Amino acid sequence: MNTEVDGPQEEGPNDAMVCCFLIHTVCSVSALSSGGSRVLHSRVFGPEDNTESDPERRRLLQKERLLALARRVRTAVCLYRDAAGTSCVECVLGEEAVALGEAEFGVLRLSAGEPFPAERTVLWLGVQNLAFTLVCEMHENLLLAEGTLRNIARHCMEELRLLGPGSEILLKSDRIDALLHRYVPHGQLLFLNHRFTHILDKELSAYGTK
């Protein structure tokens, strides 16, 4: 056996799943310090490496990590926009395709301990003043992850009317869960061809319309 070969095995089997998904702000929010980011939706998949034994403190640690992540991504988005010299075109409801077309996309690596115990890859999609962020294990198929992230972002934009002034993102967040339940069940990225996607989309459009 080729056990001496360097490879993913040595980093443990934790290497091909999505760990969490976030939607958060990348603009300044009056109640937050500069550089802060408001997490509007977060979903952590499955058990995570968390040293706290008390459930309340476990949850706190988890949320603190997500906040640190959101701040990190916010900085990345801002740096990216600065460097590219792009100015945000304000889009209104109905212009989702334009907003997504202009969205910035980036990838970054989180070293172990910053803030998750193990190394992670972060994919982000900056749409106007929001970012959609997917945190994956190191060896995830990034082409698949990117496609999934864009798909989820599109659904969120359209179904939660994110370009409008409403509060759907906060009050109807169960729809995001329904979305993730299909496209990233338990953190598993799926190889969906257009027919699989179509069937899931159809299921989703029936969601909540009883």
Among 94, 115, 190, 201, binds other proteins (CB under 8 A): 190
| Distance of closest approach, residue 35 Cβ to other proteins, in angstroms | 14
How far CA 148 is from CA of 34, 59, 138, 142, in Å, comes to 31, 27, 16, 9
89 near other proteins, rule: CB under 8 A: no
Total binding residues toward other proteins, as defined by CB under 8 A: 92
Among 44, 134, 136, 152, binds other proteins (CB under 8 A): 44
- By the 8 A CB rule, do 120 and 110 touch? yes
117 near other proteins, rule: CB under 8 A: no
How far CA 97 is from CA of 58, 64, 110, 167, in Å, comes to 39, 33, 30, 20
| Distance of closest approach, residue 81 Cβ to other proteins, in angstroms | 9
Q: Residue 120: beta bridge partners?
A: 110
Q: Residue 192: beta bridge partners?
A: none
| Distance of closest approach, residue 147 Cβ to other proteins, in angstroms | 5
205 near other proteins, rule: CB under 8 A: no
Judged by beta carbon, residue 80 or residue 102, the one nearer other proteins is 80
* Near other proteins in 119-158, by CB under 8 A: 121, 123, 128-130, 137-138, 141-144, 146-147
Q: By rule CB under 8 A, what string of x and - marks binding of each residue 93-112 to other proteins?
A: ------------xxxxx-x-
| Distance of closest approach, residue 115 Cβ to other proteins, in angstroms | 13
| Distance of closest approach, residue 182 Cβ to other proteins, in angstroms | 10
A 10 A CB-CB count for 85 gives: 6
42 near other proteins, rule: CB under 8 A: yes
Among 69, 76, 125, 134, binds other proteins (CB under 8 A): 76
Among 97, 98, 188, 205, binds other proteins (CB under 8 A): 188
14 near other proteins, rule: CB under 8 A: yes
